[in-house]
Amino acid sequence: MLRRKQQFRAQVHQWRDAFLFAFSLWLTHALWAPWHPVFFNTHEIQPFSEFAWLFLVIIPGAPLALEAVRFYQRPMHANRRDTYYMLAQGCFLATLALIVVIFLFKMQLARIVIGLYGWVSFFVMMISEEVSRGIYRSRYGKARIQRRFILVGTPSDIQQLNKDLNWAELEGVEILAEMDLHQGGVKRLVQELHEKAPNGVVLAGKHTYFGEIEAAIQACELEGVEVWLLADFFQPQISQTNLDELQGRPVLVFRSAPADSWPRLVKSAMDTVCAGIALVVLSPVLVSVAIAIKRTSKGPVLFRQARCGLNGQPFMMYKFRSMVTDAEQRKDELAKFNEMDGPVFKITDDPRITPIGKWLRKFSVDELPQLYNVLKGDMSIVGPRPLPVDEVRRFDDVAHRRRLSVKPGLTCLWQIQGRSNVTNFKEWVRLDLEYIDNWSLWLDLKIIFMTVPVVLRGSGAK
């Protein structure tokens, strides 16, 4: 894992642990409060509100205690013995620091609370670590952290790179293929990108001609795929360049999509929380629509189709079925009525749409099952709309694939600025790339708020 990504992950864990240590102090006090008069035959323990200001000490201090025992430098899959040993040391240091603060300020916090705090914080942190361990080892967790790469360079470069780097120790990194840039050139690299849908390319350019390296970087730029260049030769035209580190070796990262950051983490959390809440709140609507579809037309309630997700990785997208069951078979006979140029197929008053399907499409109700795709992590609330795999394969301009450099979404700029009134596929792509190049949390919120009236009016839907 790149040093920058490791640092970002450590910062996330530090904030989580800080609040867990603070919660542990409150929990210890709350658990002991009912028993204090019983054991000491005295008046009730002082309310916790008198000690709440200790959070100002614990929140910054607890991560420092764990940092002192190198808790955040351990591998993601460190064994339990080492993890809990470091955790016990950190909890001891945090408790010791709390005792010093209480002594200096002559606070009347019950001594038994202070003594129990170390144990409670240890068990709370232990539970947190077990939950994190379970998530990381689950299929969901592996899919979230797994990064797939293609090694590109001359055979000697790749051999030396494999010798210098221990890929097995890089958490979440999978090498899909190794490719000699001299054999097949950029054309073969693009083919490999399409077939294997990697998250990035590691380019070892020591013995590769500068022109070939530059062409490979530009090809990956157009595809929206990250490049880890083990050199410092070129200035890209689109990507932002970041200097990072891979096991002590300097790496230039050319990235034409938003990088991992706190706003991206907030976006991911919002996707999961909002999708989960929406599925619960809208469950009566979902059930009602499912019954209506089943009673008004033959066939399944849900329409399933393989769509291209992040970096072109296929996933199964779900929608309420709004067409007849043989809609895909009739697509060829209606091709001459296609109103979109390029690979996308759209026509007004599509004869394959069922009567209830017209209403579902008009108000975008057919898209609601995609909230499950958002919850799974295949999609986001806001992002370029996912296209069928066969339509992506027919892209006539490789630059259009850069829209695959972020997760597809339920809504996007195309939905609110053009929606189905846009008949030029290049204009559709332009709006998607405008979103990618100018992404921010505020832009996502703006798109969400602007989507609501568009959907309620049913304007532009087909």
More confident residue, 141 or 53: 53
More confident residue, 331 or 67: 67
Of all residues in the chain, the percent with pLDDT exceeding 70 is 92
Contacts of 262 (CB under 8 A, 6+ apart): none
Chain segment 380-404, per-residue pLDDT in tens = 999 999 999 988 988 888 778 899 9
Sheet strands side by side (includes 200-203): 173-180, 147-153, 200-203, 226-229, 249-255, 240-246
Cβ(373)–Cβ(318) below 8 Å: yes
Q: Determine the pLDDT at residue 235.
A: 59
Q: Determine the pLDDT at residue 307.
A: 95
Q: Determine the pLDDT at residue 290.
A: 95
Arithmetic mean of pLDDT, 138-166: 81
Does residue 460 register a pLDDT over 70? Answer: no
Q: Determine the pLDDT at residue 11.
A: 87
* Cα R_g (the chain), whole angstroms: 27
Does residue 453 register a pLDDT over 70? Answer: yes
Most confident of 198-202, 334-338, 344-348: 198-202
Q: Determine the pLDDT at residue 417.
A: 75
φ and ψ at residue 166, rounded to 5 degrees: -100, 95
Structural domains in the chain, sorted by start: 3-137 (no CATH), 147-255 (3.40.50.720), 262-457 (no CATH)
Report the distance separating Cα 251 and Cα 246, nearest Å.
7
Of the listed ranges 127-131, 345-349, 404-408, the one predicted with least confidence: 345-349
Cβ(347)–Cβ(316) below 8 Å: no
Q: Determine the pLDDT at residue 15.
A: 92
Q: Where are the beta strands (DSSP E) in 104-211?
A: 147-153, 173-180, 200-203
Of the listed ranges 113-122, 209-218, 355-364, the one predicted with least confidence: 209-218
More confident residue, 142 or 130: 130
**What is the per-residue DSSP string for 274-296?**
HHHHHHHHTHHHHHHHHHHHHHH
Q: Where are the beta strands (DSSP E) in 346-456?
A: 380-382, 409-411
DSSP 420: G
Arithmetic mean of pLDDT, 161-184: 81
Classify strands 200-203 and 147-153 as parallel, antiparallel or unpaired: parallel
Chain segment 249-291, per-residue pLDDT in tens = 778 788 888 877 788 888 999 999 999 999 999 999 999 999 9
Reported as a pLDDT band with limits 50, 70 and 90, residue 25 is: very high
Of all residues in the chain, the percent with pLDDT exceeding 90 is 33
Q: Determine the pLDDT at residue 1.
A: 60
Q: Determine the pLDDT at residue 161.
A: 82
Cβ(172)–Cβ(146) below 8 Å: yes
Chain segment 32-43, per-residue pLDDT in tens = 887 766 666 666
Report the distance separating Cα 186 and Cα 183, nearest Å.
9
Q: Determine the pLDDT at residue 182.
A: 81
Q: 3-state SS of the chain: helix, strand, coil percent to 5? A: 60, 15, 30
